Structure 1
Amino acid sequence: MRTARFGDLFQLERIPLDPDPSEAYVQIGIRSFGRGIFHRPAVAPEGLSKLRYFCINPGRIVFSNIMAWEGAIALTGSQDEGTVGSQRFLSYAPISREVSPQYYNYFFQTEAGLRLVRSGSTGTVKRNQTLSPRVIENFLVPFPSLDEQRRIASLLDSIIRVTEADSSTSQVEAALPSSFLSAAFSGSAPTAKVKDLLFLSRQPVDVDNETAYKAVGIRSFGKGMIFYPPSRGDQLSKLRYFKFPGEALAISNIKAWEGAVAVTPHATSEYVASNRFLFYLPKEDSIDVRFACYYLISEEGLYQIGLASPGSADRNRTLAVDRFAEVRIPVPPKDVQQRVVAMLDKVHKEWVQALERRNALRAALRSSALNAAFTGKL
C-alpha cells in the first residue's frame, strides 16, 4: 500500500479562543482506547485552566498530546462544534482532497497506528509521554485511494455501530436500577435534615503552579468518583481547590440533580477537588454516609435534590448548600442502614461486572474489525 507523510495530508489547526466573560464554554476531553470525545460541563471563563485554549471544529482528527499513546485520539463531529480545547489537544484539519478523516481516525486506533503513536511519545513516565506536532506530522501513514479509504471507513462505521448500538445508555446502565433503590427505601423510617446529620468538611489548598495534583470528579447516576491523572497546578482550573476527608459523602454541586453523588475512599490525601464539590462527614454515629449516598441517588432522593437545585438549564442547576441542608434523609437504626448498604453494594457489584463483561466483548470485536480492515482482510 502507498504511504504518505501525515503532515502532507493534514495540518495543525489553531484558532485561539478570545474568552467572553458573558459566555460559557464547553471543553472537550478524549477518552482513551479510541472511545471518542466527551464534553465537560459548561463553565464561565474563570472555570477554564491557566492553559491556552483554542476553538474546535467538526471533521478534525484530535490527539491528546499526553494520552495519545493510550489511544486518546478522536474525530470531531457536528456535536463538537462550538466547543474548546486546551493546548493539550492537537487538532488536525485535512489539506488534501484525497483523504477521509474517518479512515485516518480508525487507522490510529489499530495496533499499527498505536505503535506509531507510542514510538513518537517521548518520556518514560506515563504522564510525561508527550506527543509533539512535529512528530505527528512526520508519521508515515497508509495512503490508499480515496474510494478505498471511504469503503473501509464505511464498513467499520457499520460494524462499530452494531457493537456499540447501546453505548449511549451504558452510563445509565452502570448505575443501580431504580427498582432496587426504590425497594430499599420503601419502608417507613424517621427522617432528619441533612444539617442535623452531616457537616461540610474540606481544607483549602494553596495551589502551586509547579506542583503535581490529582484532581477528582464525580460521575452522574451514582457511578462513583473519577480520579484524574496528575497534572501541574497551572493546568488546574481557576477555581479554588480543597483537600477532603476519606469516607465522606461527596456531591457535585452542578450535577447533583443527575445523581453525581458518591462516597470518598479511605485514603484521599493525594487528591484535590474544586469548589464545585461538597464533602460531608457525619455529626454523630446515627447515619452511615454510604446509606445517605444510596438514598440521595434514589428516585425520592433525587427529587429532593432537584428541588434544592434551582435553575432550568443543566449548567445552571446548582445545588444550594443552604437548601441541601434542609433535605430530609431517612434514619432507620444503624444496623438496618448497614444491611441496606451491604445488599445494594452486592447488587451494584454484580450489575457492573455484567456490564464490564459485555464491554470487553464489544472491545474485542472492535479491535478485531479495525486490525482486519487495515491488513486487507475486509
Structure 2
Amino acid sequence: MTKQAVTLGDVMALDLDPHRVEAGNTYPNIGIYSFGRGTFGKQAIDAAETSASTLYRIRAGQIIYSRLFAFEGAYASVPAEHDGAFVSNEFPTFTVDTARADPAFIGWLFRWSETWRSLRAGAVGMGDRRQRVHPERVLRHRFALPQLTEQRRLVARLDAAAAAVERANQLISEVDYDLLQAARNIIWQAGEDPKVWVPCGSFLRQRALDVRVEAEIEYAFAGVYSFGRGIFRSEVKGGSTFSYPALTRIRAGDFTYPKLMAWEGALGVVPTECDGLVVSPEFPVFEIDAAIVQPAVVDTFFRDPRTLPMLRSASSGTNVRRRRIQPGQFLGLKMPIPSTAEQAMIMTILERRNAVLEARRDSVAALQALLPAMLNEAFDAAE
C-alpha cells in the first residue's frame, strides 16, 4: 500500500464560520458523543436564553470536536442531517482538502481510539476532566495517508461493516422492544378498570438514610439514566469529596429516582448488579411490597414513556430544568395493579426477554468488537 507520512494540518484546515446571535432567532444545535460515536441533535439555541454573542455554523463533511471532552474521544464528522447547525466556540471545525484526503476517511480516522489517545497526550489543563485539546495540537497529529483510491476502498469497507452492525443491532432492539411492549400493554390494559389504580404509597415504603459518611472511606455510587434507561453503577467518591453527612445503601429490588430528573423518566428498580451501591439524599429509596406488586412490574410501568405526563404533573418548581418530585408527591401518584395472573404473565414475558437478550449476548459482544478491530486493521496497515 502506497502511503505518505503527513500531519492533519497537511490535509485539513481550521474553518470557522462565525455568526452574530440576533434577537428573536433560534439556532439548531448539536452535541458530540464521546468515544467516536458521532453527533446528535440538541434543543435549538434561543437567542433570548444564551449568553453567547457569536455562534459558529457547521457544514456536512467537516471534522468537529469538543475541546472539553476530546480526552474521551468526542470527535466526529458532521453528517448531512446536521449541515447548517450551530455550535459554540468550544467546538472547533475543520474542512478537509478533498484533493488530498477523502473527508469520510478522515472521519473514520477520528473514530479510531488510537487517534484520541495520541491527541489526549497533548491536552492541557488541571485534572483529567478539565483537559482541553486545542486545534493546533489536532493539526500537528501525524498519521499515514494512503492514496485517494485506497482511502475510498477503506471507507467503503468500513461503511459496509458499520451498516451491517447497525442492522444486526436494530433486529435485536426490535425483538427486545416488542417483548417489553407486550409486558407494558398488560399493565395498561389492566388499567382500563379505574378500580385497579392505587396510590404508590400503598406498596412503596421509603427507606431511611442508613450510611453515615466518613471522610477516609470511599463510596461506590449508583446513578439513574433519564428516559427509562434504568439504574447504573456510577463513580466511586471519597467521603471527603462531598458534603452529604449520610447516604442510602440500595438493594436489588428497591425503587429509586433522583428528585431533580424524575420528571424525564429517571427512575427504576435496582438491578442485581447495583446491589449494595449508595445514593445521595437527593435519591429517595423505597422498598416494594411484593405481596401487592412484583418489583419488575413496577419497573416496567414507570420506565414506560407513557408515564412521563404523570411524572411531570407531580413535579414542582418554576424552572423546567430545576423541577423536583418530592417523595410525598411520588407516593401520591397512582399505578394500575394487574391481577396475580396478569403479573405472572408479565413476569413470564420479561423472563423470555432476558433469555433472548442473554442468548444474543455473545453476538452483541462480537458486533461491538467488529468495528474497533477493523479500524485497527485499516489504520495500522496504513502506518
Q: TM-score range with shorter-chain normalisation? A: 0.5 to 0.7
Cα offset for 1:106? 1.4
Q: In structure 1, what is the equivalent of residue 74 of structure 2?
A: 72
Distance in 1, Cα, partners of 2:104 & 2:358? 32
Cα offset for 1:54? 3.0
Q: In structure 2, what is the equivalent of residue 59 of structure 1?
A: 61
Report if the CA contact (8 A) 2:183-2:350 is conserved: no
Distance in 1, Cα, partners of 2:332 & 2:23? 36
Report if the CA contact (8 A) 1:63-1:73 is conserved: yes
Q: In structure 1, what is the equivalent of residue 33 of structure 2?
A: 30
Give the TM-score, by structure 1 length.
Answer: 0.63
Report if the CA contact (8 A) 1:120-1:135 is conserved: yes
Aligned pair 1:296/2:297, yes or no? no
Q: In structure 1, what is the equivalent of residue 92 of structure 2?
A: 90
Cα offset for 1:50? 7.4
Aligned pair 1:330/2:333, yes or no? no
Report if the CA contact (8 A) 2:262-2:311 is conserved: no
Match of 1:160 among 144, 162, 176: 162
Q: Secondary structure at the match of 1:62?
A: strand
Aligned positions of 1:1-378 closer than 5 A: 1-14=3-16, 15-16=18-19, 18=21, 20-23=23-26, 25-32=28-35, 34-42=36-44, 44-45=46-47, 53-95=55-97, 97-110=99-112, 112-122=114-124, 125-167=127-169, 177-183=180-186, 190-192=196-198, 218-220=225-227, 222-224=228-230, 247-249=255-257, 262=268, 267-269=278-280, 291-298=297-304, 302-303=305-306, 305=308, 328-331=334-337, 357-376=362-381
Cα offset for 1:191? 1.0
Unaligned stretches of 5+ residues in structure 1: 199-213, 230-243, 273-278, 311-318
Q: Structure 2 vs 1, CA of residues 125 and 365 (structure 1 numbering), >3 Å: closer, same or farther?
A: same
Q: Structure 2 vs 1, CA of residues 120 and 269 (structure 1 numbering), >3 Å: closer, same or farther?
A: same
Q: Structure 2 vs 1, CA of residues 43 and 123 (structure 1 numbering), >3 Å: closer, same or farther?
A: closer
Cα offset for 1:103? 0.5
Structure 1, 157-166 or 336-345: larger mean CA deviation: 336-345
Equivalent residue pairs, number: 330
Structure 1, 171-180 or 84-93: larger mean CA deviation: 171-180
Report if the CA contact (8 A) 1:174-1:355 is conserved: no
Q: Structure 2 vs 1, CA of residues 71 and 296 (structure 1 numbering), >3 Å: closer, same or farther?
A: same
Cα offset for 1:367? 1.8
Structure 1, 40-49 or 4-13: larger mean CA deviation: 40-49
Report if the CA contact (8 A) 1:291-1:337 is conserved: no
Give the TM-score, by structure 2 length.
Answer: 0.62
Distance in 1, Cα, partners of 2:341 & 2:47? 46
Distance in 1, Cα, partners of 2:45 & 2:14? 26
Distance in 1, Cα, partners of 2:375 & 2:232? 29
Distance in 2, Cα, partners of 1:355 & 1:122? 42
Distance in 1, Cα, partners of 2:15 & 2:172? 33
Unaligned stretches of 5+ residues in structure 2: 205-220, 236-246, 314-322
Report if the CA contact (8 A) 1:51-1:87 is conserved: no
| Cα RMSD (Å) | 5.2
Q: Which AA in structure 2 matches 1:191?
A: W
Deviations 1:72-115 (A, max 9, x none): 32111111124333433332112453221110121233355344
Q: Structure 2 vs 1, CA of residues 263 and 152 (structure 1 numbering), >3 Å: closer, same or farther?
A: same
Structure 1, 19-28 or 55-64: larger mean CA deviation: 19-28
Compare CA radii of gyration and give the structure with the larger one: 2
Q: Structure 2 vs 1, CA of residues 179 and 19 (structure 1 numbering), >3 Å: closer, same or farther?
A: farther
Q: Which AA in structure 1 matches 2:256?
A: A
Report if the CA contact (8 A) 2:55-2:87 is conserved: yes
Q: Structure 2 vs 1, CA of residues 356 and 125 (structure 1 numbering), >3 Å: closer, same or farther?
A: farther
Report if the CA contact (8 A) 1:263-1:289 is conserved: yes
Q: Secondary structure at the match of 2:13?
A: strand
Distance in 1, Cα, partners of 2:226 & 2:32? 15
Q: Structure 2 vs 1, CA of residues 347 and 164 (structure 1 numbering), >3 Å: closer, same or farther?
A: same
Cα offset for 1:151? 2.1
Report if the CA contact (8 A) 2:68-2:131 is conserved: yes
Q: Structure 2 vs 1, CA of residues 267 and 136 (structure 1 numbering), >3 Å: closer, same or farther?
A: same
Q: Which AA in structure 1 matches 2:149?
A: D
Report if the CA contact (8 A) 2:269-2:298 is conserved: no
